Amino acid sequence: MFIGRQHELIALQRMYDSKRFEMMVIYGRRRVGKTALIDHFLDGKTALYFTARQQNSRLILQSFAMAIAAYFNQPEVDFRSWDNAIDYLVSQARRHAGDKLVIVLDEFPYAAEAEPSLPSILQIAIDHGLKDTNTMLILSGSNQGFMESKVLGVHSPLYGRRTGQIKLQPFDCFDAARFVEHCTAEDAVRYYATFGGTPYYLAQLDPQLSYEQNVAMLCFDQAGLLYEEPMMMLREELKSPAIYDSILQAVSNGCNTPKIIADHIGLEPTSVSFYLKTLEELRLIERSIPFGEKPTSRKSRIHIKDPFFAYWYRFVAPNVTLIETGSGVEIARKTAESAVFATYVGQQFETMCMQWIFRAFRSGKLPLMPVLTGKWWGNNPLKREETDIDVVAAEPDEKKILLGECKWRNTVNETEMIASLRDRIGLIRGYRETTLAFFTKNPVHETTLAKYRNDPDMIFVCADDMFRER
């Protein structure tokens, strides 16, 4: 079952339908669904599809030659160099008539790292041949740093040749919920808080099992497919995986500034900044500042951005010993029932509420354009206390702002919740119109809805409302 990615498919199809040379660059971290996207796009189409492996240049070239021979229905060709292979493709592209000739080089970084001249060879082929043909070249890769510097970067030989790029991201909570479409909204929230939006992780869920059973099977069992997934990904993507693991564990434990993290794991603050930047580029962590503050704000906080990594480091990693002595099912059950997990889900629920805001805007259900988004924390001078705002979205040009409160609790004092958020109006200066949004686990009481039914500046959204149209 293929889910989502409609915007990306439209972009790919637009290139396919054109009558000129196109070059699409698709990248994103492992497991995010790059190959699935390409495969779905190519369904019903013919393409020269080659996936590079971690081999030396000669072996990769031999495999590439076999793919070329199979696609063009030619006897096997023993290309002596990559120049010969790419020149052959150019000659075939010039002869090709009719539909678009699609060439896919998947895991391109493996081939280019084994043969550093490959980007230059492709650049020459494009400039002196392919650009005048009806060819669509797709370069795909999981090594995001390589794709951004060696393919898209200004110093890359291929700079300026691409006609489009897709940095594939994990699904939001609503597309993620389509993997478990028969579950309740509450379980959809718990699933996203646990597995995030990575398609590969979500595809492992068994619809015949409960949430607790799926989590126990995948995460709290030594044989579980996702039991060692974070460490495996760090080993595949990064040098010094033990340092990155230590940083993620520190952030999970509440260390939220570079200095605190460095002190916690025994690194110099100047050194830890490099590792934090890499984890940010992988979208595993995020540096947040209060809405409206300058990027250099000293109030910044670091947290784990990816829900699955946040869950794994918070609940799985500390219990490895118990899991490996056979207590995984019991640990999974206790975790799902704990107040700590409920608090964690509440934190992730704030992210889901922001995702709802973007979807509501696209469907015309929001009174402003969410140009700037985030959350706010700081001092309330009237109350003389520290406070925060869970969700903020603003349209600066129109001086409009939305302030949101997110409550993942079975019961909520609605009067107190509304009064509390009203007290925060004006803490973020420069806006004339304020909309208040209340996101709750369960529907608010009918009397509350009736009281504010005709107030266009009040929005009430419960979990069932959020996931009703998945």
- Could you tell me the CATH number of the domain that includes residue 446? 3.40.1350.10
Same domain as 31, residue 156? yes
CA of 162: how far to CAs of 24, 34, 153, in Å? 6, 17, 11
Check residue 469 and give its pLDDT.
67
Tell me whether residue 449 is in a domain.
yes
Check residue 96 and give its pLDDT.
82
What is the distance in angstroms between the CA of the first residue and the CA of the last residue of the chain? 15
Sequence-ordered list of residues with C-beta below 8 angstroms from that of 155, at least 6 positions apart, any chain = 149
Same domain as 274, residue 232? yes
On whether the CB atoms of residues 57 and 82 are closer than 8 A, the answer is: yes
Same domain as 84, residue 227? no
Same domain as 69, residue 20? yes
d(CA 246, CA 257): 14
Q: Tell me, what DSSP letter sits at residue 324?
A: I
Q: Quick one: CA torsion of 220, 223, 225, 226, rounded to 10 degrees?
A: 30
Same domain as 370, residue 333? no
d(CA 469, CA 185): 11
Q: Residue 334: which of 361, 315, 311, 309 has the closest Cα?
A: 315
Check residue 78 and give its pLDDT.
86
Tell me whether residue 343 is in a domain.
no
Same domain as 315, residue 378? no
Same domain as 452, residue 317? no
Tell me whether residue 408 is in a domain.
yes
On whether the CB atoms of residues 85 and 121 are closer than 8 A, the answer is: no
Tell me whether residue 349 is in a domain.
no
Check residue 172 and give its pLDDT.
97
- Could you tell me the CATH number of the domain that includes residue 276? 1.10.10.10
Domain end point (choices 287, 322, 337): 337
- Cα 364 to chain centroid distance, Å, stands at 24
DSSP string, 386-435: EEEEEEEEEEGGGTEEEEEEEE-SS---HHHHHHHHHTTTTSS-S-SEEE
Q: How many domains does the chain have?
A: 3
pLDDT in tens, 213-244: 999 999 999 999 999 999 999 998 888 999 99
Same domain as 189, residue 163? no
On whether the CB atoms of residues 165 and 141 are closer than 8 A, the answer is: no
d(CA 185, CA 468): 8
Radius of gyration of the chain, Cα coordinates, nearest whole angstrom: 25
Check residue 97 and give its pLDDT.
74
Same domain as 188, residue 156? no
pLDDT in tens, 87-106: 999 999 998 877 899 999 99
- Could you tell me the CATH number of the domain that includes residue 111? 3.40.50.300
Q: Tell me, what DSSP letter sits at residue 43?
A: T
Same domain as 148, residue 257? no
Same domain as 374, residue 316? no
Residue ranges in the chain modelled with pLDDT below 70: 469-470
Q: Which residue has the tokens 């790292």?
A: 113
Structural domain boundaries, residue 200: 184-337
Q: Which residue has the tokens 């915007």?
A: 7
Q: Both tokens of residue 180?
A: 């478990």
Tell me whether residue 94 is in a domain.
yes
d(CA 113, CA 117): 9
Check residue 470 and give its pLDDT.
59
Q: Which residue has the tokens 């160099």?
A: 81
Check residue 46 and give its pLDDT.
95
